[in-house]
Structure 1
Amino acid sequence: MVLELIGNVAATIGGLVAGVMNILTDLFLTKPLKATIQYLEEAELKTLQGDVKTFKARTLWEKSGAVIMAEAAELSSLKPQLDQLGVPLYAVVKEDVGTEVQNFRPFFKGEIFLDEKMRFYGPRERKMGLLGFLRVGVWMNGLRAFKNGFSGNILGEGFVLGGVFVIGQGEQGILLEHREIEFGDKVNVEEVIQAVRRISQELQPLENK
């Protein structure tokens, strides 16, 4: 009984400390600026396998929409569902440092492209910085990634926060935009699926014509 009480008190204190640290670090975190479809579609992406090709990002979603993730490896588990709905999943990375992309490939089942100008990390670039390591969530997310066998790095632009976009085909525009609050912050997968279903519903009449 005493041990249980001590455990509950420790958990409460730990939660309060974590909450205070999050509030303090939030003060130094740049607020995200929402991207527009016009901003994203002009992003120049590069292929990372075979002959290097550069193309405008809009070609990824203009026919069937797309889910595009920047630094969110765990979305890969949704690929079978996205394939069923006819919407592709892509990843964009901000740099190709050492074997980083090569090490990432086993954890991602879609195509990976290089976004050197980091449009999918903007329009306002956001960095977590060393203060991020004061957040409990960062340590928990890092531990989860380590257990799953994935290890990133903080070389180059390693402190830049990413996000996830669900972009519709045609005039649908951006249906979902998730910006990381901290390293490893996960998007709500149910919201991703709901947004993708909106794309799928729009595509079905076109396929039946």
Structure 2
Amino acid sequence: MASTLKTQYKDIKDISLVDFLGVEAEQTVVAHDIWKDKATVVIVIRRPGCQFCREEAKIFDGHRSTIEQSMGMKMVCIVHEKEGSDVFQKEFWHGKVYHDPTKAFYKALGGGHLRVGGWGQLISPSFWVNLVRNKKSGVKGNFEGDGSILGGLYIVHAGDQGIAYEHIEKVWGDIASAPKVLEACSRVSGVAVNEASLAKAAEEHENLHERMANSSVGQAKRAAATQDAVDATPSTAPAQLPPL
């Protein structure tokens, strides 16, 4: 499994994070201290107000009892900006959130460089599938903050045993598969995943992703309309990306 990973453990283990929610005073935490005792699911989100990020948080929060109680693991979220984090934690995540001021986790997901979604995201059929899926989920967001930086998800072994699983977001809304994450957690923890939980996650995943918005013709029309808008944008003007 390790041979398929793009991120090296050394790139994330010493990252300095800030514990800032629900504490009397902000505290600096070194990443490897988070998982020193328990294997941990680390969700690196793009923006606390992003509807896709909130959707992903809500999905995995729904599996919290399986991952944290049954499997004895931890789950945390990483943000690169604090704005809206309190609402995100209270309404969608219900767990620990850490601030990554230097965006080091985001750079690790990009092999040392920040990966930023541009206008090309809007003409990707996958983006439209994700958007339709999100609309049907009923999870809403806002337009506060920078949502252009792409995120992902890690599962890290306890101690310094390294990364067990990674999901790298390629397109806005490309959230990690709950069944795959549960299966990876099962391998890491040694605890068999409850078949009912896995079946439920698989069903939810299938329902969420079987959204090929109407037809390939419909997708082509949307992509063409978006491309027209991109072509009409002056090349000298800075791209104003939607803060998804």
Q: Does the pair score TM above 0.5?
A: yes
> How big is the shift at 1:152?
4.8
Per the alignment, do residues 34 and 153 of structure 1 end up closer, same or farther by CA in structure 2, a change over 3 Å counting? farther
> How big is the shift at 1:188?
2.2
Alpha-carbon distance in 2 for matches of 1:192, 1:96: 26
- Matching residue within 101, 107, 119 for 1:116: 101
> How big is the shift at 1:67?
0.2
- Matching residue within 2, 6, 10 for 1:38: 10
Query: Aligned residue for 1:21?
Result: none
Query: Aligned residue for 1:192?
Result: 181
TM-score calculated relative to the size of structure 2: 0.62
Query: Aligned residue for 1:149?
Result: 139
* 1:12-91 correspondence to structure 2 within 5 Å: 34-49=6-21, 50=23, 51-71=25-45, 72-73=56-57, 74-83=59-68, 84-91=70-77
> How big is the shift at 1:47?
1.3
Alpha-carbon distance in 1 for matches of 2:169, 2:177: 11
> How big is the shift at 1:109?
2.3
Q: Which has the larger radius of gyration?
A: 1
Match of 1:41, SS?
Answer: coil
- Structure 2 regions of 5+ residues with no counterpart? 46-55, 192-244
> How big is the shift at 1:154?
6.6
Give me the identity figure in percent. 23
Contact 1:44 1:55 in 2 (8 A): yes
Contact 2:18 2:98 in 1 (8 A): yes
Q: Deviations along 1:4-43, whole A, 9 cap, x unmatched?
A: xxxxxxxxxxxxxxxxxxxxxxxxxxxxx92211111111
Q: Deviations along 1:84-138, whole A, 9 cap, x unmatched?
A: 10001100001113xx213322111221110111122122211111221112332
- Structure 1 regions of 5+ residues with no counterpart? 1-32, 203-209
- Matching residue within 153, 165, 169 for 2:158: 169
Matched, 1:93 2:79: yes
Query: Aligned residue for 1:20?
Result: none
> How big is the shift at 1:171?
4.1
Match of 2:18, SS?
Answer: strand
Question: How many residues are paired up?
Answer: 167
Paired AA for residue 60 in structure 1: I
Contact 1:48 1:113 in 2 (8 A): yes
Alpha-carbon distance in 2 for matches of 1:154, 1:170: 36
Query: Aligned residue for 2:219?
Result: none
Paired AA for residue 31 in structure 2: A
Per the alignment, do residues 95 and 57 of structure 1 end up closer, same or farther by CA in structure 2, a change over 3 Å counting? same
Per the alignment, do residues 118 and 162 of structure 1 end up closer, same or farther by CA in structure 2, a change over 3 Å counting? same
Paired AA for residue 133 in structure 1: L
Alpha-carbon distance in 1 for matches of 2:140, 2:75: 19
Contact 1:145 1:151 in 2 (8 A): no
Alpha-carbon distance in 2 for matches of 1:54, 1:108: 21
